[in-house]
Amino acid sequence: MKRLNWLFPLLLVVLASSACQSYRVADWLTQSGEALFKDDFSDPGSGWARAVSPSGAMDYFGGGFRIWVNTENYDLWSTPGLAFGDVRIETDVYTIGGPLENRFGLLCRYRDAQNYYFFIVSSDGYYGIGKLSGGLRSLLGQAMLAYTPAITQGVALNHLRADCIGDTLTLYVNGQPVGMAQDADFSAGDVGLLAGTFGQPGTDAVFDNFVVIKP
């Protein structure tokens, strides 16, 4: 019964606002396989939401974007303030500290703090695809987080990819497809990064080489 209770904790989020920009015109003009947006986080002014509080912090860090969560059963996420339809999102993520029972990953079709899709993995080898809808969180196509050997466990680097195409959501880890779900509630929105904790605080992840590609 791996982390079934994660579906129902109190969700507390520190979220800094950023100016919303639209990349929908670029979406129309680009060809399949071309980048709609990319960021190596070398420029601290590239627009990602930043925050610092006793519960954790998220900020540009050493050429990447770091999310550190210092409260149990807590999520922090950041978005660049953009808007897309169908996308393929990729990033490298390094876990640099904290418990192995954690979560970190990608967001797509982010409408606001109460509505978005998420793709998460953990440092002990589990993954999930889900959504927050009206503030209620649920997994899609699975009753609880599932194990996959595709995740490099421990303090390590993983490459994540999330495809949000039509009503189909697909998660890849280190080039391998690990999960797929279908949901039609959200058709467009922002993209983002997420990290969180379960029963122990201290999740510490650094993201780099973020790219949004037209599928």
Bridge partners for 60 per DSSP: 65
Q: What is the 3-state secondary structure (H, E, C) of 153-166?
A: CCCCEEEEEEEEEC
pLDDT for 26: 52
pLDDT for 199: 95
pLDDT for 3: 52
pLDDT tens profile 43-61: 999 999 999 999 999 999 9
pLDDT for 96: 95
pLDDT for 31: 76
Residue matched to tokens 């993983």: 158
Residue 133 has pLDDT above 50, yes or no: yes
Q: Which ranges constitute the DSSP H helices of the chain?
A: 24-29
pLDDT for 213: 96
Question: How far are the Cα atoms of 128, 135, 175, 184 from residue 10, in angstroms, in the given order?
Answer: 18, 10, 33, 25
pLDDT for 28: 54
Q: What is the mean pLDDT of residues 206-210?
A: 98
Q: Residues 199, 101: contact at Cβ < 8 Å?
A: yes
Percent of the chain whose pLDDT exceeds 90? 85
Q: Residues 159, 174: contact at Cβ < 8 Å?
A: yes
Backbone phi and psi for residue 97, each to the nearest 5 degrees, phi listed first: 175, 175
pLDDT for 15: 39
pLDDT tens profile 6-35: 443 434 343 333 334 445 545 555 678 899
Helix, strand, coil shares of the chain, percent, nearest 5, are 5, 50, 45
Q: What is the mean pLDDT of residues 94-104?
A: 96
Domain segments of the chain as ranges: 35-46+53-195+203-207
Residue 4 has pLDDT above 70, yes or no: no
pLDDT for 33: 84
**Average pLDDT of the residues of the chain:** 89
Residue 176 or 27, more confident:
176
Name the class of domain 35-46+53-195+203-207.
mainly beta
pLDDT for 19: 36
**pTM summary value:** 0.89
